[in-house]
Structure 1
Amino acid sequence: MTDWQLGRTFTSPQGEIRWDAFGAGPPIVLLHGTPNWSYIWRNVVEHLAPRHRVYVFDWPGFGSSARFAGQNISWDEQARRLPELFEHWGLAAPTVVAFDFAPIFALRAHVFHGLEVGAFVFADAAVIPPFVTDFSRLARENQGTMRQLPVHIAEGMIAAHLAQTTYRPLDPEIFEGYLAPWRGAEGVAAYWRAVARYDEDLAAPLVPRLAELSVPVRLLWGDHDAWFPREKARELAAALPGAELRFLPQAGHFSPEDNPRAFAEELLAFERERPR
């Protein structure tokens, strides 16, 4: 399933958001991270849709959603999109699956904007600083230099960074699916704009609030995550009383890509087990 397209549009204050929904049943909302897009969920959706209504979208500045100079895609602004989308979809307290940096957006929406959530699943999650990779930190701190790089060199750097995300090398066609939004002058500019907004200071206030979460929480983690290793998983689990941590076999940081069946099976088991 490499031909991935989102067929619906929601107009937000930061431009059009592309989204779609699949299947029927209790709702699950899948939130992608960075530098990926909703494409990472395509194989997970196949396993969930027979039992759930599954919502996916691209954050502003990512994938097929609007991307433009001057767009506010700061992590506090991204958090404001979730209440808007939930209202548009008519959702009340769905399960939210947040991957990579998306737990920051989801938690800020829940803690600071009152977003009702039935349960959280955090996957390979950036929540407790520090978590920005060395390459991304270097790029963020040297934006002027990065924006002057020739496009083909910038694309090569982005590709090399993406290549570290999976347990095994991706099929070239699949890898191109991840790289496609960042290709060309427009894509490279969008990538540097996203990196410029990486701000661990917006995650830090969430850390002391983690123990206050009153909804069920499950943690899923690639057992070979090279970006956020096992120590980060255990650190987050320790900060979330009652949250069970599950490691996914033969999976790197992009665990939904590496092992979508195991990822989906863990979600389905969590949905069956948790109280209603």
Structure 2
Amino acid sequence: MTAPGARTGRSSLLQHLLPGYPGREHWRLVPATGQHYLDVGAGEPLLFLHGNPTWSYAWRRLLPALAPRARCLAPDLPGLGLSQHLALPSDPAAFLQAQLDHLDALHRHLVRHEGAPERGWTLAVHDWGGPLGTAWLRRHPGVVSRLVVLNTIAFPWPDGYRLPFYLRWIRDHRSVAAAVDATNAFARATFRAGVTRPLRPDERRAYLLPHARRGNRRAITRFVRAIPDGTRADVWRLLEPADEARDDLRDMPVFIGWGMRDPVFTPLVLAEWIRRHPRAAVHRYHRAGHLVMEDAADELGAHIAQFLRRWP
């Protein structure tokens, strides 16, 4: 049994290694799954879903602007961040279904045990959080009332889009995926090339910390290998169900905040979001890259807060 002082010492050290991240009093675990999440602020639930290879650390700079008016709930997707690094399925459809199952468990836990309302949530999504989050909300009509979209996709790639070659290499070649996994190259490259405002060295270290051990990186390459293409109809059906099985999002208030210097989610993807949601509030951040919440944190936080005030 570990002495209380030792636990406190490790907690203080970990907090020191995560500059800007909320304190341990805001850390929570879902007992059934071991999924870690942040719980900051008060008000209507605002659920943040990050992508790959980020984790809830990505939202730290938005919380000061949003926590005063919303209960900000930021989980780490299974296998990423401070959530348990489980032996998740390698099959893409099964892997993504496991992610959706954990979202179900998180929602049940928050409603049954943490005082969250069953409905009236706002969902904020980035990267893989987009397809996972919209697939989840379509399976639970009425839970989500507002949608915040940040450099992501939730529909088949638009005509003319081509996935960057390095993502295709990792997705389509096991040997390349194995090399990336061994070196953590995908995460290291993301936290340098994914921003236009370079992260401080301690911020990059914080992002990389949960995946320093090779055994904790499996989900990173599995997310890349799960990226759908034209032949993976089973994955597309999971992420975008048939019309009769999905909730209609056209009347939902939507905010779109887009880093315009993103090499993956290009202006072509943004144009498809706008075509599908012509009444959305759209903000383009011309000096921001893929990690728009890093490059445009102050503007983005203010614009999302304004959106929440407009659609209470």
The correspondence for 1:248, drawn from 274, 279, 285, is: 285
Amino acid at match of 1:8: R
CA drift at 1:3: 5.4
Amino acid at match of 2:240: L
CA drift at 1:193: 3.0
Q: 1:188 to 1:10 in 2, by over 3 A?
A: closer
- What is the aligned partner in structure 2 of residue 16 from structure 1? 34
The correspondence for 1:83, drawn from 94, 100, 104, is: 104
Please give the root-mean-square deviation of Cα atoms over the aligned residues, in Å.
2.7
Q: Percent sequence identity over matched residues?
A: 24
- What is the aligned partner in structure 2 of residue 225 from structure 1? 262
Q: Find the aligned partners of 1:140 and 1:88 in 2 and give their Cα distance.
A: 34
2:55 pairs with 1:37: yes
Please report the TM-score for the alignment, with normalisation by the length of structure 1: 0.86
Question: What's the secondary structure of 1:8's corresponding residue?
Answer: strand
Query: How many residues were matched structurally?
Result: 271
Question: What's the secondary structure of 1:67's corresponding residue?
Answer: coil
Amino acid at match of 2:257: L
Q: Give yes or no for contact 1:143–1:192 (8 Å, CA) kept in 2.
A: no
Question: What's the secondary structure of 1:39's corresponding residue?
Answer: helix
In structure 1, runs of 5+ residues without a counterpart are: none
CA drift at 1:211: 9.7
**What aligned pairs does 1:157-172 form with structure 2 within 5 A after superposition?**
157-172=186-201
Larger Rg: 2
Q: 1:110 to 1:70 in 2, by over 3 A?
A: closer
Q: Give yes or no for contact 2:29–2:35 (8 Å, CA) kept in 1.
A: yes
- What is the aligned partner in structure 2 of residue 53 from structure 1? 71
Amino acid at match of 1:136: L
The correspondence for 1:2, drawn from 19, 26, 38, is: 19
- What is the aligned partner in structure 1 of residue 139 from structure 2? 112
Q: 1:263 to 1:69 in 2, by over 3 A?
A: same
Q: Find the aligned partners of 2:181 and 2:102 in 1 and give their Cα distance.
A: 33
- What is the aligned partner in structure 2 of residue 134 from structure 1? 165
CA drift at 1:52: 1.6
- What is the aligned partner in structure 1 of residue 129 from structure 2? 102
Q: Find the aligned partners of 1:58 and 1:185 in 2 and give their Cα distance.
A: 18
Q: Find the aligned partners of 1:47 and 1:218 in 2 and give their Cα distance.
A: 16
Q: Find the aligned partners of 2:253 and 2:262 in 1 and give their Cα distance.
A: 24
Amino acid at match of 2:168: R
Q: Find the aligned partners of 1:60 and 1:150 in 2 and give their Cα distance.
A: 17
CA drift at 1:252: 0.8
2:246 pairs with 1:215: no
- Deviation readout 1:234-267 (Å, 9 max, x if unpaired): 1211022422321124311101111211111111
Q: 1:166 to 1:150 in 2, by over 3 A?
A: closer
Q: Find the aligned partners of 1:23 and 1:113 in 2 and give their Cα distance.
A: 24
CA drift at 1:129: 3.4
Q: Give yes or no for contact 1:147–1:189 (8 Å, CA) kept in 2.
A: no
